[in-house]
């Protein structure tokens, strides 16, 4: 019996000391975070007109807008281009950044452009200059037109693909 009381006293003392050190409180410092200057928008849309006519319509699954740079980072964007109000082409990209001041678009990753004339472009990291109405990329490009396919390493073109410049081009006829 004496042994049990002695062990019980030892166990109680041990747990008391353990609880004292284990429960010793530390001050947790929470720093104030600066406010985030970005917004997230689902089903993001931009419509651009010029002289009352449709110039561009952009839709994306989501956008994160950085208010400091005024850049929208888009997920799965689809951009439809119009020439004088008439449909010209569509750009589809994995991701894109759009400058909300200029409406310039930078397609990131795989980019595809299909035109109203059944022409098809495949490239990566495609840029659209809204002021010049110009598409361009410094990467490999494949342009499929009715009857032939053009391969090259840099291109620039208008949104209708009527004026196209391709570097290091090679053409394969169907």
With cut-offs at 50, 70 and 90, classify the pLDDT of residue 39. Answer: confident
pLDDT tops 60 at residue 164: yes
Percent of the chain at pLDDT > 90 equals 69
Query: What is the pLDDT, as a whole number, of residue 173?
Result: 92
**Section 46-60 average pLDDT:** 93
174 vs 136, more confident: 136
How far from the centroid of its chain's Cα atoms is residue 103's Cα? 14
pLDDT tops 90 at residue 150: yes
Percent of the chain at pLDDT > 70 equals 78
Residue 41, Ramachandran bin (φ over 0: left; ψ between -120 and 50: alpha; else beta) = beta
For residues 105 and 98, the answer to whether their CB atoms sit within 8 Å is yes
**Section 85-93 average pLDDT:** 96
pLDDT tops 80 at residue 70: yes
Q: Can you give the residue ranges of every domain in the chain?
A: 38-173
**Section 60-74 average pLDDT:** 94
pTM of the model: 0.75
Candidates 2.60.450.10, 2.70.98.90, 2.160.10.10, 3.30.70.1530; correct CATH number of 38-173?
A: 2.60.450.10
pLDDT per position as a tens digit, 100-142: 999 999 999 999 999 999 999 999 999 999 999 999 999 999 9
Query: What is the pLDDT, as a whole number, of residue 22?
Result: 56
Q: Report the distance separating Cα 49 and Cα 167, nearest Å.
A: 32
Query: What is the pLDDT, as a whole number, of residue 168?
Result: 93
Name the token pair of 25. 């409180």
pLDDT tops 70 at residue 4: no
């Amino acid at each position: 019996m004496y042994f049990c009381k002695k062990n019980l006293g030892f166990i109680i003392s041990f747990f008391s000391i353990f609880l004292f050190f284990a429960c010793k409180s530390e001050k947790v410092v929470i720093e104030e975070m600066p406010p985030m200057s970005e917004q997230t928008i689902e089903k993001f849309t931009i419509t651009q007109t010029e002289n009352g006519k449709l110039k561009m319509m952009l839709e994306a699954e989501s956008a994160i807008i950085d208010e400091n740079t005024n850049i929208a980072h888009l997920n799965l964007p689809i951009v439809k281009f119009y020439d004088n109000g008439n449909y010209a082409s569509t750009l589809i990209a994995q991701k894109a950044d759009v400058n909300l001041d200029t409406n310039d678009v930078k397609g990131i990753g795989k980019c595809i452009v299909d035109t109203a004339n059944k022409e098809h472009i495949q490239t990566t990291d495609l840029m659209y200059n809204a002021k010049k109405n110009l598409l361009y990329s410094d990467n490999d490009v494949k342009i499929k037109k009715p009857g032939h396919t053009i391969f090259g390493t840099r291109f620039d073109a208008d949104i209708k693909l009527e004026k196209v410049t391709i570097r290091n081009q090679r053409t394969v006829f169907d």
